[in-house]
Amino acid sequence: MKIKSVTPFILHVPVTGGQIADSTHTVSNWGVVGAQIQTESGITGYGFTGTHAHLPSDQLITRCIETCHAPLLIGEDASDINRLWHKLARNPALQWVGRAGITTLAHAAIDVALWDIKAKAAAQPLWKLLGGQVRDKVRAYNTDIGWLSIPDAQLVAGAQRAVADGFTGIKIKVGSTVERDLRRLALVRQAIGPDVTLAIDGNGKWNLATCQRFCRAAEALDVYWFEEPLWYDDVKGHAQLARVTSIPVALGEQLYTTDAFAEFFAQQAIAWVQPDVTRMAGITEVLRVCDTAHSFRLPVAPHAGDMSQVHVHLAYAHPACEVLEYIPWIKDCFTEPADVVDGHFKLPQLPGAGTTPTASAWEKYRQVTA
C-alpha cells in the first residue's frame, strides 16, 4: 500500500449554542485540521487534530503536513505505521524545531490517517484491528452541559436533562472563583443525586493554594476527579495536591509525549490518565501511554480533542480505558458518528478509524489551508 499523496485539510465546525467558555478558553468553532492520505491501491485514510479554529495557526499545522511530513511519506508503505512514526518523530530537522506543538499536532493527523488506512485495508473497524473488544459497553460522561459560561439555572437543567437521557456521568468546568464554583458544584450534585458521577475540570487555571482551599470544601460532594487543577506541566504541584486531597487528580490533554506522562507517573501526581490522539503524535503514541497506565493499574479516560471519533475505538479495545467524554460538536461531520445511546457509546461497525468526513461536511465547513 504505497502512499501516493498527502493532502492537508481544515474544517471549522460550530460549537453548541454558538460559543462556549471554560476558565481559560472561549471557543465558537472547533477546528478539524488534518491529512487525507491516498494510496496507490485506492484506499484513502483521514486523520486530524483538534484546534480552536484559529485559521492562521491551523494553517501552520497544514503547512507542516504539506511541506515537512508529506515528502517523508510519499512512496512509503502505509502499513508500516511504527516505522513511519519514528521516521517523522525522529527526523533530525523536525526534532530540532519540534518534539511538541505544531509538528506533533501535524504528526497526530498523519498517524491517525495511517491507522485509518490499515483498518480499511483489513475491512475492520479500528477497535478490532487493535485486538478486539475487551468490554461490552463504554460509559459516556457529558461535558457539553457543563461549560463555565453557562448560567447556574441552565447548568442545573442541562445536568438533569443529561441524566434523563441516560448519562451516568457529568463533568462541569471550574476555575472562576472558589465561592462560585463550589455553589455550582453543590447545585449540580443536588440536582443529579448520588448515583451519577460528577467530575470537574479547571483547565489549568488555579494555583496550588487555591486548589487546596477548593478541594477541602468540595470533598464532601463526592467529586469523581479534578481535571487539570494546575498549570499543565507542574508535576510537583500536582503531586502535592494529590497528597492532600481525596479527590483524584486527572490530566493529560496538554501533554505531548510519553516522557511527559512518565514524570507524572513517577511522582504519583496523577490518578486518572487522559492522553489524546490529537495532542500526542497519534494513536501509536497514545497506546504506549495506555499500556504504561495499565501497568500501574491507573484508569484511562481519553481526552476528546477528537470528540471521541477515534477514542471510542481505543476505549473498546484497551483494558485501561474506563470512561469516555461526550461532546457532540463534530460527530455528524463523519460517516459514522460517535453516538451515545442510553449513556454508552455505540460500538463502531464501519471499517476504519471513524475519521472519514461526509461530503456535506466537506463542502460546508472546509477552509483554505494556505
Concatenated DSSP letters of 138-185: EEEEE-TT--TTS-HHHHHHHHHHHHHTT--EEEEE--S-HHHHHHHH
- Predicted confidence at residue 164, as pLDDT, reads 98
Q: For 144-172, b where at least 16 C-beta lie within 10 A, e where not — what string?
A: bbbbbebeeeebbebbbebbeeebbbbbb
Can you tell me the mean pLDDT for 161-185? 98
Task: Work out the pLDDT band at 270, boundaries 50, 70, 90.
Answer: very high
Can you tell me the mean pLDDT for 185-202? 98
pLDDT at 108 exceeding the cut of 90: yes
> Within a domain: residue 305?
yes
* Active-site pick, 12, 128, 238, 303: 303
Average pLDDT of the chain to the nearest whole number: 97
User: Cα dist. 149→17, 31, 201, 314 in Å?
Assistant: 11, 20, 13, 31
CATH of the domain at 50: 3.30.390.10
pLDDT at 370 exceeding the cut of 90: no
Task: Work out the pLDDT band at 222, boundaries 50, 70, 90.
Answer: very high
Q: Supply the range of the domain harboring residue 87.
A: 3-123+359-367
> Within a domain: residue 79?
yes
Dig out the grid coordinates for 117 from the structure. 488506512
> Within a domain: residue 331?
yes
Q: Is residue 250 within a helix (H) or strand (E), and if so which, with residue range? A: strand 249-251
Question: pLDDT per residue over 88-98, tens digit each?
Answer: 999 999 999 99
Answer yes or no: do 178 and 323 share one domain. Answer: yes
End-to-end CA distance of the chain: 29
Please return the burial class of 362, using the count of CB atoms within 10 Å of its CB with bins 0-12, 13-18 and 19+: middle
CATH of the domain at 159: 3.20.20.120
Q: Are 315 and 347 in contact (CB under 8 A)?
A: no
Can you tell me the mean pLDDT for 38-49? 98
Which percentage of the chain shows pLDDT scores above 90? 99
Answer yes or no: do 223 and 247 share one domain. Answer: yes
Answer yes or no: do 104 and 140 share one domain. Answer: no
- Predicted confidence at residue 29, as pLDDT, reads 98
Question: CA torsion 127→131→135→139, rounded to 10°?
Answer: -30
Answer yes or no: do 173 and 119 share one domain. Answer: no
Which percentage of the chain shows pLDDT scores above 70? 100
pLDDT at 187 exceeding the cut of 90: yes
* Active-site pick, 12, 120, 128, 173: 173
Cα–Cα dist 301/139, whole Å? 10
- Predicted confidence at residue 294, as pLDDT, reads 98
Task: Work out the pLDDT band at 254, boundaries 50, 70, 90.
Answer: very high
Answer yes or no: do 185 and 106 share one domain. Answer: no
- CA nearest neighbour of 317 among 294, 298, 343: 294
β-pair type (20-21, 44-51): unpaired
Can you tell me the mean pLDDT for 296-307? 97
Answer yes or no: do 96 and 136 share one domain. Answer: no
Q: Is residue 88 within a helix (H) or strand (E), and if so which, with residue range? A: helix 81-89
Answer yes or no: do 277 and 228 share one domain. Answer: yes
- Predicted confidence at residue 113, as pLDDT, reads 98
> Within a domain: residue 107?
yes
Tell me 101's DSSP state.
Answer: T
Answer yes or no: do 115 and 133 share one domain. Answer: no
Can you tell me the mean pLDDT for 139-156? 98
Question: pLDDT per residue over 319-365, tens digit each?
Answer: 999 999 999 999 999 999 999 999 999 999 999 999 999 999 999 99
> Within a domain: residue 325?
yes
Is 173 among the catalytic positions? Answer: yes
pLDDT at 227 exceeding the cut of 90: yes
Is 118 among the catalytic positions? Answer: no
Answer yes or no: do 142 and 96 share one domain. Answer: no
User: Cα dist. 75→35, 61, 128, 280, 352 in Å?
Assistant: 16, 22, 27, 25, 21
